[in-house]
Amino acid sequence: MNDQLLEPEEHVLSTLEKDGSRRWIYPRLFQGKYWTRRRAVGYLLIIVFIALPHIKINSSPAFFLNIAKREFTIFGFKFLPTDTLLLAFFMISLFLSIFLLTALFGRVWCGWACPQTIYLEFVYRPIERLFCGTAGHGGKPHKSVPVIRRLMMYGAYLIISMVLAHTFLAYFVSVSELQRWVQQSPFTHPTGFLVMTATVVLMMFNFSFFREQLCTIACPYGRFQSVLLDRRSLIVSYDKQRGEPRGKISKQKTEETHGDCIDCGQCVRACPTGIDIRDGLQMECLHCTQCMDACDEIMVKVERPTGLVRYSCQDEIEGKPTKKLRPRVVIYPLLLLLSVSAFTVTLMNKKSFDVTVMRNYGNPFIVTDDDFVENNLQIKLVNRTDLPEEYQFELPEKTDVKMEIMGNTSLKARETKTIPLLVSAPRSSFVTGLREVELTIRSQKDSEERTVTCQLLGP
Ligand code: SF4
Ligand code: SF4
């Protein structure tokens, strides 16, 4: 039996060996100018990520995604489940910003600001290099590292993962709730303890095992880059015209017969996703600039101009004319302006409470002995303020409609309450079985009012 492995005809995935096993990537570090800048941005962002749930704006956390209550607080603005329009405009603005940013600056988010890149490159990898050295060739450098050092490294990973898990969860359960979880016994809040443990395990799995595969396999953003980028978007690119034909430096080869690439492979060794930037734009490229730093260092050593691998765009690299202005960089900002304006106007027009009229279950209406038609409605009230509030229900001054409120109309801070309401109108006032009634609801403290139209059903 032929036990030879079938080999793919071409390169399949940078994180796979030819036999399909995991190819571990231990990139070599090049501390060039881009690395220094990225590290400064990275540490600044880590401070921001940790601080955001602790900072208070209008007595609420700057960033709090309360999934249990379906209430999102972003920079002092509270979004409730009833804010579907606001949420829609917010999401449209967010997507348009991503489209615009990518069209202009390529995957700058991935390389400079994504928490996955930042924590991996500036927290976990430095720890790994501290305990295991700076081998940086791919393969498995851990093999030669004493077990005690590896254990210490994973111990450090665990501590960092616990800190990160707490930071991450603070965005969803609030800092005060998290403090309560930490101070009490796990048996007092087993769900909280399980959530925390699962988050730590996920962090450990991601940063010590899954790593670059999150970007190359799991994250959808890289897959969208081919449609989001155009030929004039800023990308990390290798200057083929200058670099080719590549070849090792030797006495026989002259600068006339060879390009500037000396085929040293350092750009590949530096790459955290294990690709070769000389193969052109690839989905796995995070635009982390490590190959730029690597190549610049080599160019300085061989006394050639730096920038063989540099920030550029496809047209420029191919020597074609480049125009900054193109349809998508005009259309995206215009659409963004529209959606941000719509978001702002909707937000400014928000009242201190929301009202939704709903119909009760069961019979749609009852005809009474005095020839009135009764409709059982439900008024859903949402108090958006941080204070308790009392609401008043009013019908227009001159009306033939009667109303009976079947519940308490005071709401606690941020409370949502459904209040049953019995509305009756003379049978003769119904046209083809329908009758509209205007209902005004007024908040007593704010003196704000909202008028809603209730559709009554009749015979
Ligand atoms: S090719 Fe260069 S920019 Fe792209 S991921 Fe690799 S090192 Fe980073
Ligand atoms: S680091 Fe520069 S010179 Fe070396 S292989 Fe890469 S592109 Fe060529």
> 161-216, pLDDT tens digit by residue?
999 999 999 999 888 888 888 888 888 888 888 999 999 999 999 999 999 999 98
At 452 the pLDDT is 93
Residue 5 — very low, low, confident or very high, per pLDDT cuts 50/70/90?
Answer: low
The residue whose CA is least distant from atom 8 of ligand 1 is 288
Beta bridge partners of 359: 377
Determine the atom of ligand 2 nearest the C-alpha atom of 309: 7
Q: 261 is in which domain, residue-wise?
A: 234-318
Pocket of ligand 2 (CB under 6 A): 238, 243, 246, 261-267, 278, 294-295, 298, 308-309
Domain end: 197, 227, 257, which one? 227
At 142 the pLDDT is 65
As a whole number, mean pLDDT of residues 66-85 equals: 82
**Same domain, yes or no, for 198 and 263?**
no
At 97 the pLDDT is 95
> 395-439, pLDDT tens digit by residue?
998 899 999 999 899 999 888 899 999 999 999 999 999 999 999
Q: Looking at the domain assignment, is residue 346 inside a domain? A: no
Residue 124 has pLDDT above 90, yes or no: yes
Q: Is 288 in the pocket of ligand 1 (CB under 6 A)?
A: yes
Q: Looking at the domain assignment, is residue 8 inside a domain? A: no
What does pLDDT average to over the chain?
88
SS3 at position 75: coil
Q: Which residue has the tokens 């190549």?
A: 295
Percentage above 70 pLDDT, the chain: 94
Q: How do 416-426 and 372-383 pair as beta strands?
A: antiparallel
Residue 140 has pLDDT above 60, yes or no: no
The overall longest dimension of the chain from CA atoms, in Å, is: 111
At 453 the pLDDT is 93
DSSP assignment string, 366-378:
EE-TTSEEEEEEE
pTM: 0.81
Residues 6+ positions from 411 with CB-CB distance below 8 Å: 353, 381, 383, 388, 389, 390, 391, 417
Cα-Cα-Cα-Cα dihedral sign, residues 223, 228, 229, 231: positive
DSSP assignment string, 230-297:
-TTS-EEEE-HHHHPSP----SS--TTTS-S-----HHHHH-TT---GGG-S-TT-----HHHHHHHH
Q: Looking at the domain assignment, is residue 11 inside a domain? A: no
> 215-252, pLDDT tens digit by residue?
988 898 888 877 888 889 999 999 999 998 898 876 55
Determine the atom of ligand 2 nearest the C-alpha atom of 263: 5
DSSP assignment string, 392-412:
EEE--SS-S-EEEE-S--EE-
Distance between CA atoms of residues 103 and 268, nearest Å:
26
As a whole number, mean pLDDT of residues 322-341 equals: 91
Residues 6+ positions from 217 with CB-CB distance below 8 Å: 15
Percentage above 90 pLDDT, the chain: 56
Number of domains in the chain: 3
Q: Nearest ligand to the C-alpha of residue 222?
A: 1
Determine the atom of ligand 1 nearest the C-alpha atom of 289: 3
Q: Looking at the domain assignment, is residue 187 inside a domain? A: yes
Q: Looking at the domain assignment, is residue 358 inside a domain? A: yes
Q: Nearest ligand to the C-alpha of residue 117?
A: 1
> 434-458, pLDDT tens digit by residue?
999 999 999 987 778 999 999 999 9
**Same domain, yes or no, for 215 and 248?**
no
At 336 the pLDDT is 97
**Same domain, yes or no, for 223 and 238?**
no
> 28-52, pLDDT tens digit by residue?
999 999 999 999 999 999 999 999 9
Higher pLDDT, 374 or 360: 374
Task: Report the 10 Å Cβ neighbour count for 158.
Answer: 14
At 1 the pLDDT is 46
**Same domain, yes or no, for 449 and 376?**
yes
Distance between CA atoms of residues 201 and 198, nearest Å:
5
Q: Is 25 in the pocket of ligand 1 (CB under 6 A)?
A: no
